[in-house]
Chains A and B, each alone.
Chain A
Amino acid sequence: MRSKDLKMPETDWVLLAMALFEATGFLLLAFFRGFDIVPMILAVSMPLLLAAQALLLRRAYPHMDGYILLIANFLCGVGLIALYRLDPDRALKQLLFYGLGVLVMLAMTFLVARGTLLRRLRLPVMLLSLGALLLTLLIGEENGGAKNWIDLKIISVQPSEFVKVALVLCLALDLSEKRTVRQLLPVGLFAAGCVLLIVLQKDLGAVLICFLTCLTVYYVATSNWLLALFGLACAAAGSAVLYRLFDHVRTRVAIWQNPWDSPQGSGYQIIQSLIAIASGGLTGLGLGLGSPDVVPVAESDFIFSAICEEFGIVVGLVLLLLYVILFARGLLLAMRARSSFHALLSVGAVTSLALQTFMIVGGVIKMVPLTGVTLPFVSYGGSSMLSSMLMLGILQGVSIAVGQQDESEWRLARAREEAQEF
Chain B
Amino acid sequence: MNASAYELLASLARYWFIALALFIAVRLVVAVLREMRIEWRVQREISEAGTGINATLVLLSDEDGRLRRGKLYPVEGETTVGAAPRCDVRISSRSLRGVHCILAMEREGLRVVPVGEAFVVVDGEVVERRALAHDGSTIQLGGLVFRLRLEEENAL
Direct contact of A and B (CB under 8 A): yes
Q: Which residues of A contact B (CB under 8 A)?
A: 1, 5-6, 8-11, 13-14, 17-18, 20-21, 24-25, 28, 31-32, 35, 67, 70-71, 74, 177-183, 222-224, 283-289, 310-312, 314-315, 318-319, 321-322, 325, 328-329, 332, 336, 338-340, 406, 409-410, 412-414, 416-417, 419-420
Taking the complex as formed, is B125 at the interface, i.e. its CB lies under 8 A from any CB of chain A? no
A9 to B31, CA, bound (A): 7
Which residues of chain B are within 8 angstroms of A420 by Cβ–Cβ distance?
A: 154, 156
A31 lies within 8 A of B99 (CB) = no
B10 lies within 8 A of A321 (CB) = no
Q: Is the interface of A mostly helix, strand, loop or mixed?
A: helix
B35 lies within 8 A of A8 (CB) = yes
B78 lies within 8 A of A413 (CB) = no
A318 lies within 8 A of B22 (CB) = yes
Taking the complex as formed, is B91 at the interface, i.e. its CB lies under 8 A from any CB of chain A? no
A11 lies within 8 A of B31 (CB) = yes
A314 lies within 8 A of B21 (CB) = yes
Which residues of chain A are within 8 angstroms of B20 by Cβ–Cβ distance?
A: 17-18, 20-21, 24
A67 lies within 8 A of B42 (CB) = no
Q: Is the interface of B mostly helix, strand, loop or mixed?
A: helix
B10 lies within 8 A of A14 (CB) = no
B21 lies within 8 A of A318 (CB) = yes
B31 lies within 8 A of A311 (CB) = no
| Cβ-closest chain B residue relative to A314 | B18
A315 lies within 8 A of B10 (CB) = no
Candidates A321, A325, A332; contact of B39 at CB < 8 Å: A332
B116 lies within 8 A of A21 (CB) = no
| Cβ-closest chain A residue relative to B105 | A338
A289 to B7, CA, bound (A): 7
Which residues of chain A are within 8 angstroms of B127 by Cβ–Cβ distance?
A: none
Mask, B76-94, CB within 8 Å of A = 1, is 0110000000100000000
Binds A, one of B46-54, B67-75, B134-142: B46-54
Which residues of chain A are within 8 angstroms of B24 by Cβ–Cβ distance?
A: 14, 17-18, 21, 74, 318, 322
| Cβ-closest chain B residue relative to A30 | B1
In the assembled complex, the CB of A414 is this many whole angstroms from the nearest CB of chain B, namely 8
A204 to B125, CA, bound (A): 50
Q: Which residues of B contact A (CB under 8 A)?
A: 1, 6-7, 9-11, 13-18, 20-25, 27-29, 31-32, 34-36, 38-39, 41-43, 45-46, 48-52, 77-78, 86, 99, 102, 104, 113, 115-117, 153-154, 156
A416 to B16, CA, bound (A): 52
In the assembled complex, the CB of B118 is this many whole angstroms from the nearest CB of chain A, namely 8
Top 3 closest pairs, chain A to chain B, by CB: A180-B116, A413-B49, A286-B10
Which residues of chain A are within 8 angstroms of B22 by Cβ–Cβ distance?
A: 314, 318
Q: Indicate whether A5 sits within 8 Å of B38 (C-beta atoms), given known contacts A311-B17, A315-B18.
A: yes
B46 lies within 8 A of A287 (CB) = no
Which residues of chain B are within 8 angstroms of A417 by Cβ–Cβ distance?
A: 49
| Cβ-closest chain A residue relative to B116 | A180
Q: Indicate whether A177 sits within 8 Å of B1 (C-beta atoms), given known contacts A11-B31, A224-B86.
A: no
A412 lies within 8 A of B52 (CB) = yes
A406 lies within 8 A of B7 (CB) = no
| Cβ-closest chain B residue relative to A19 | B20
Known A32-B10, A285-B14; 10 more pairs at CB < 8 Å: A24-B16, A74-B24, A177-B102, A182-B116, A284-B18, A288-B10, A311-B21, A312-B18, A410-B42, A420-B156
| Cβ-closest chain A residue relative to B102 | A177
A-B contact pairs, 6 of them (CB 8 A): A31-B1, A67-B35, A284-B18, A286-B7, A315-B18, A420-B154
A416 lies within 8 A of B18 (CB) = no
A199 to B25, CA, bound (A): 38
A338 to B36, CA, bound (A): 17
In the assembled complex, the CB of B142 is this many whole angstroms from the nearest CB of chain A, namely 15
A71 to B156, CA, bound (A): 47
Which residues of chain A are within 8 angstroms of B6 by Cβ–Cβ distance?
A: 31-32, 288
In the assembled complex, the CB of B124 is this many whole angstroms from the nearest CB of chain A, namely 23
A318 to B25, CA, bound (A): 6
In the assembled complex, the CB of B115 is this many whole angstroms from the nearest CB of chain A, namely 4
A9 lies within 8 A of B10 (CB) = no
| Cβ-closest chain B residue relative to A184 | B116
A70 to B99, CA, bound (A): 41
Which residues of chain A are within 8 angstroms of B86 by Cβ–Cβ distance?
A: 222-224
Which residues of chain A are within 8 angstroms of B77 by Cβ–Cβ distance?
A: 338
Which residues of chain A are within 8 angstroms of B13 by Cβ–Cβ distance?
A: 24, 28, 286-287
